[in-house]
């Protein structure tokens, strides 16, 4: 589905991705994990052309990403970010259907699709007429997911989609999303800094540090055979977070 071939992307003052080579298979969920600033979000942006490699190339569905095919790639890729990225001046319906209307999709098709999606993400229909400012955090992320799924993409990129939600809502949405991914059979690339969330969603976990991939494998692989001290420390920190030592 996606190949990163020796990709490097540098920002003005920092290196975000350093010589990364990575293959993400189709139809499965892969989690990108690591500390803040490790380059995991930049990998997603490289796929949809919000960042461009300075060295190496990114291949999506057998095509190297380029300005010529980026519009097509974007239409077949859903992208959800932590803040939701919903346009505050548009209603839920207008947010969700903006791209479809831009592509001059049939009105009936659009209506049918909206009805399917609102059922899928389990939102009441009156939400369609509301503006993002009037929605709860959880509702906003559901709407953002509707927007990402509108054109029925085969690839979903989720950048900390649950990061801004309170723990109860987050837990509930985790369950829903996992069953949704299983049902939809799409390729999902999920960025998170939470190892438990990564393990919950993904068959494959890619652990990054300072722009490089440190280890790639299942959760079991990481726990049983950590590649180095950093992986060990990262696992340790996540477990300590889950069960604070003082109460143990």
Partner 1 sequence: MHSRCAALLFGLLAVSARADVVVGSKVFTESVVLGELATQLLQHEGIPATHQRELGGTTILWSGMLRGDIQCYPEYTGTLRAEIFAKQSLDSDEALRQAVKRSHVWASPALGFNNTYVLGMRKDVAQRLSVTRMSDLAAQPQLRLAFSNEFLERADGWPGVRAAYALPQEGVRGMAHDLAYRALASNSIDITDLYSTDAEIAYYDLLALEDDRRFFPEYAALFVCRDDVGEDVRQALSKLAGRIDAETMARMNARAKLEREPEAQVAGEFARDRLGIRLQSHRDDRAVRIGRRTLEHLAMVGLSLGAAVILALPLGVLAYRAPRFGRIAFVVADVLQTVPALALLVFLIPWLGIGYAPAIVALFLYSLLPILRNTHAGLADIPRDLRESAEALGLSAFARLRFVELPLAARSILAGIKTAAVINVGTATLGALIGAGGYGQPILTGIRLDDLGLILEGAIPAALLALIAQAFFGALERRWVRAK
Chain positions contacting partner 1, by CB under 8 A: 45, 48-50, 70-72, 74-75, 77, 79, 81, 83, 85-90, 98-99, 102, 131, 133, 147
Residue 72 or 232: which CB sits closer to partner 1? 72
Residue 164 or 227: which CB sits closer to partner 1? 164
What's the Cα-to-Cα distance from 58 to each of 81, 170, 208, rounded to whole Å?
A: 21, 32, 18
**CB-facing half-sphere around the CA of 136: CA atoms within 13 A:** 9
Residue 55 or 72: which CB sits closer to partner 1? 72
Hey, what are 228's tokens?
Answer: 């180095």
Instruction: Quote the CA–CA distance of 169 and 238 in Å, as a whole number.
Output: 21
CB of 104 to partner 1, least distance (A): 11
Cβ atoms 42, 160 nearer than 8 A = no
Question: What is the phi/psi pair of residue 18, to 5°?
Answer: -120, 110
Question: What is the phi/psi pair of residue 79, to 5°?
Answer: -135, 120
Residue 131 or 230: which CB sits closer to partner 1? 131
The widest CA-to-CA distance across the chain, in whole angstroms, is 60
Question: Which residues of 124-195 form beta strands (DSSP E)?
Answer: 155-159, 187-192
CB of 183 to partner 1, least distance (A): 24
Residue 102 or 247: which CB sits closer to partner 1? 102
CB of 192 to partner 1, least distance (A): 17
Q: Considering only CA atoms, which of 42, 34, 33, 48 is closest in space to residue 7?
A: 42
CB of 148 to partner 1, least distance (A): 9
Residue 124 or 133: which CB sits closer to partner 1? 133
Q: Which residues of 191-204 are buried (b: 16+ CB within 10 A; e: fewer)?
A: bbbbbebbbbbbeb
Q: Which residues of 107-125 are buried (b: 16+ CB within 10 A; e: fewer)?
A: eeebeebbeebbebbebee
CB of 52 to partner 1, least distance (A): 12
Hey, what are 129's tokens?
Answer: 């007429």
Residue 70 or 110: which CB sits closer to partner 1? 70
CB of 84 to partner 1, least distance (A): 8
Cβ atoms 198, 190 nearer than 8 A = yes
CB of 134 to partner 1, least distance (A): 10
């Amino acid at each position: 589905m996606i190949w990163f071939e020796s990709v490097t992307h540098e920002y003005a003052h920092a290196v975000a991705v350093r010589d990364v080579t990575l293959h993400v298979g189709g139809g499965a969920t892969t989690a990108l994990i690591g500390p803040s600033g490790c380059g995991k979000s930049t990998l997603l942006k490289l796929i949809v052309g919000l960042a461009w490699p300075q060295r190496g190339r990114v291949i999506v569905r057998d095509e190297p990403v380029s300005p010529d095919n980026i519009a097509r790639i974007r239409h077949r890729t859903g992208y959800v970010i932590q803040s939701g990225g919903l346009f505050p001046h548009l209603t839920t319906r207008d947010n969700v259907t903006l791209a479809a209307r831009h592509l001059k999709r049939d009105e009936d098709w659009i209506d049918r699709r909206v009805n399917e999606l609102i059922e899928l993400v389990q939102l009441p229909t009156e939400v369609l007429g509301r503006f993002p400012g009037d929605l709860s955090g959880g509702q906003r992320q559901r709407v953002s997911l509707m927007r990402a799924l509108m054109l029925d993409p085969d690839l979903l990129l989720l950048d900390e989609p649950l990061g801004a939600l309170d723990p109860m809502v987050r837990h509930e949405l985790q369950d829903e999303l996992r069953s949704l991914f299983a049902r939809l059979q799409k390729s999902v690339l999920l960025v998170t800094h939470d190892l438990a969330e990564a393990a919950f969603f993904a068959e494959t976990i890619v652990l990054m540090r300072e722009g490089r991939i440190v280890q790639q494998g299942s959760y079991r692989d990481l726990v049983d055979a950590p590649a180095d001290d950093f992986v060990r420390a990262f696992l340790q920190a996540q477990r300590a977070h889950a069960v604070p030592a003082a109460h143990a």
